[in-house]
Amino acid sequence: MIGVLAANSGTELADFAVPFGVLSAADVAEIITVSTQPGPVSMGPGVQTRTHLTVNQFDKQHPDGADYLIVPALQPTDDPAAIAWIRAQAEKGSSILSICNGALTVAATGLMDGRHATAHWASETRRRAEFPNVHWRNNVRYIADGPIVSSSGISAAMPVSIALIAAIAGASRADLVAESMGVRDWGPVHDSDSFRRGPTLDSIPRPATLDAVGIVVGSGTDEIAFALVADAYSHNGRTRAHAVSRRRMPVQTRRGMTILPDRASDDPALVDVVTLPEGTTPMRTLDDALASIEKSYGVEASTTAARVMEYPEYSR
């Protein structure tokens, strides 16, 4: 059994949805999404989801804990409920896998002390200062040290999920899933230093008001493609993504994630409405979204999104 944790106050969308979708597609284990509290989970200003269970419900139904627990980037990173539950799961024997700056929350549990770990390139100064007992590694997409696995920035959610599939079911199954996702390389080799070139993310000028872009969701939407495209539109410094549908009713995605649209698709405040294509892979859909952002807002916007997502495959 694999649990995917979310903090209701804030959870990075792709860090959460990509592992859930990829592992569900592989059909190698039961995948359960878990939130720290009842109610909707915020995944950005325009995206909310609802998990299968809360941590309390999970504990009652699965007292032995999960085999693996995936921890996305959470806000705040020191969420007390998340920290306590991660510790409790580890004590029951769960292997803990952090995505991106989910490593900051796992590090706050003390479980990474004395171990090698990695996270998003932009958090390096902070995590080295706050967690000096962790052996932080650069230039690696993911790293396992005993029962603790960690990965670099947002886009690393895909290869580390495929690596977990390989660990559970073998490389052949992992290769098949990688091909279906449009992933050419799911190994650990990575150049995080390349994303440090250029201005710091905080120094990039941003308009006073971000353009609202709707991403259409409906029954059977691919949650992996949706999450990647929504993140690209929310991390480029010019736009903010919103989950939209015709009737604003809860939507069940292809693999069972519940998305709560926050706007109608005909909302006049939307500058653009993006419909996800059919018949292509999630990674190709992300590439096309970045190209569209570049066409509409310039190369700085698409490059900013790729840097925030730590996505090496996109370059212009």
- What pLDDT score was predicted for residue 316? 44
Identify whether residues 214 and 294 lie together within a single domain: yes
Strand 48-50 relative to strand 41-42, pairing:
antiparallel
Domain membership flag for residue 314 = no
Identify whether residues 42 and 177 lie together within a single domain: yes
Q: Cβ(301)–Cβ(234) under 8 Å?
A: no
Domain membership flag for residue 143 = yes
Question: pLDDT tens digit string along 85-135?
Answer: 999 999 999 999 999 999 999 999 999 999 999 999 999 999 999 999 999
Domain with 8, as residue range(s), is 2-195
Number of domains in the chain: 2
Q: Which of residues 195, 224, 247 is at a domain's end?
A: 195
Instruction: Report d(CA 17, CA 213) in Å as an integer.
Output: 19
Q: Cβ(138)–Cβ(192) under 8 Å?
A: yes
Identify whether residues 67 and 185 lie together within a single domain: yes
Instruction: Report d(CA 75, CA 85) in Å as an integer.
Output: 15
Tokens at residue 264, please?
Answer: 């109608």
Q: Cβ(100)–Cβ(151) under 8 Å?
A: yes
Instruction: Report d(CA 309, CA 303) in Å as an integer.
Output: 10
Identify whether residues 66 and 167 lie together within a single domain: yes
Identify whether residues 185 and 263 lie together within a single domain: no
Question: pLDDT tens digit string along 161-219?
Answer: 999 999 999 999 999 999 999 999 999 999 998 888 776 667 677 788 999 999 999 99
